[in-house]
Amino acid sequence: MDKFNPAMSQGCSCERNDDLLTQLRQMDFAIVEVTLYLDVYPDCCEAKEYLETMRAKRAKVAAEYESKHGMLTMYGVCGESSDKCAHWPWHYEAN
Amino acid sequence: MWIYEKKLQYPVKIKNPNPKLAAAMISQLGGPDGELAASMRYLHQRYGMPYNEVVGILTDVGTEELAHLEMIAAIIYQLTRNISIENIKGTMFEPYYVDHTTGMYPIAASGVPFDMKYVGVKGDPLADLAESQAAEQKARVTYDNLIRLSDDPDVTDPLRFLREREIVHFQRFGDAMRVVQDKLDGKNFYAFNPAFDKKTR
């Protein structure tokens, strides 16, 4: 009974963590922050400009990420990632 | 509608399983001031909110809370992966294990399953925003407590990120509160409910 191990690790060992994911997270964080700000200060031109710049940068990085690791959303770019290799976001290997 | 994005908002990468710590972390999943309660509160407060700016912030913060819910689940998932029954026996995780094995069930650290009684939706902009501001502070205190309990830097790091988000959300709800009060000050000195008493809008 002491060998009972209900939580076997899943998926293969190929890790998704790379610079692209870090960059994408950083840009998404910036976009979330400035969006929350613009919700309550909708007339701030500086924030609007920043949001547009970050959105353009984010689109580039997201496309590159998706072509390498597979779709982020159901509307994403079809990439190399196969089901065999897929990690869900809560897996150690995905972060 | 909502669109699922297949990544965490902030990385969760925990090297060492620790069921005892998981039993504490579970409160931010299904506890009174957890992320499930937060998302349910803000997303449902939107319908009674007569001001566009405030509906916007409730939508965006409520959505971010769903991302935090998945981060907390990732923390618990990784703290309980590859554990044996010997790792569980005699720890705080034991009662949870009896009922849910290592499945993900929204429950408070004290053992009470998630309850919508934690969430206030009054249908009045002042009352609901005051509730939301208080909720952010209560969640921040819970993260303070969890950070004190955590002896693993891999766990403390995402907790610090989540704690910081509570502070920013409190700030934004404070801004939203000013938006509501500015609108009330004009013709509604006595704070009649602008979500219900139509003539005061």
What's chain A's average pLDDT? 82
Q: How far apart are CA B131 and CA B32, in angstroms?
A: 13
Distance from CA of B88 to the nearest CA of A (A): 10
pLDDT of residue B156: 98
Residue A62 corresponds to which amino acid?
A: A
Q: Do A89 and B74 touch (CB under 8 A)?
A: yes
Sequence spans of domains, chain A: 17-72
pLDDT mean over B94-120: 97
**CB spacing of B74 vs A7 below 8 angstroms:** no
Q: What is the pLDDT of residues B182-198, one digit of tens each?
A: 888 666 767 788 888 87
Strand partners, B107: B113
pTM of the model: 0.90
Domain boundaries, chain B: 19-188
What is the C-alpha separation between B169 and B138, in angstroms, rounded? 12
DSSP state of B107: B
Per-residue pLDDT tens over the stretch B6-24: 999 999 999 999 999 999 9
A33, A40, A72 ranked by CB distance to B7: nearest: A72
Assess A92–B contact: CB distance below 8 Å, yes or no: yes
Instruction: Give pLDDT tens digits for A30-88.
Output: 999 999 999 999 999 999 999 999 999 999 999 999 999 888 998 877 766 655 557 89
Quote the CATH superfamily of domain B19-188: Ferritin, core subunit, four-helix bundle (1.20.1260.10)
Q: Hey, is the C-beta of B101 within 8 angstroms of any chain A C-beta?
A: yes
Give the residue-averaged pLDDT of B124-133: 96
Q: Which residue of A has its CA nearest to B64?
A: A32
Chosen for mutation from A39, A51, A75 (greatest number of chain B CBs closer than 10 Å) is: A39
User: For tokens 């219900």, what's the residue?
Assistant: B196
CA distances from B150 to A15, A67, B18, B19, B112 (A): 26, 38, 10, 12, 22
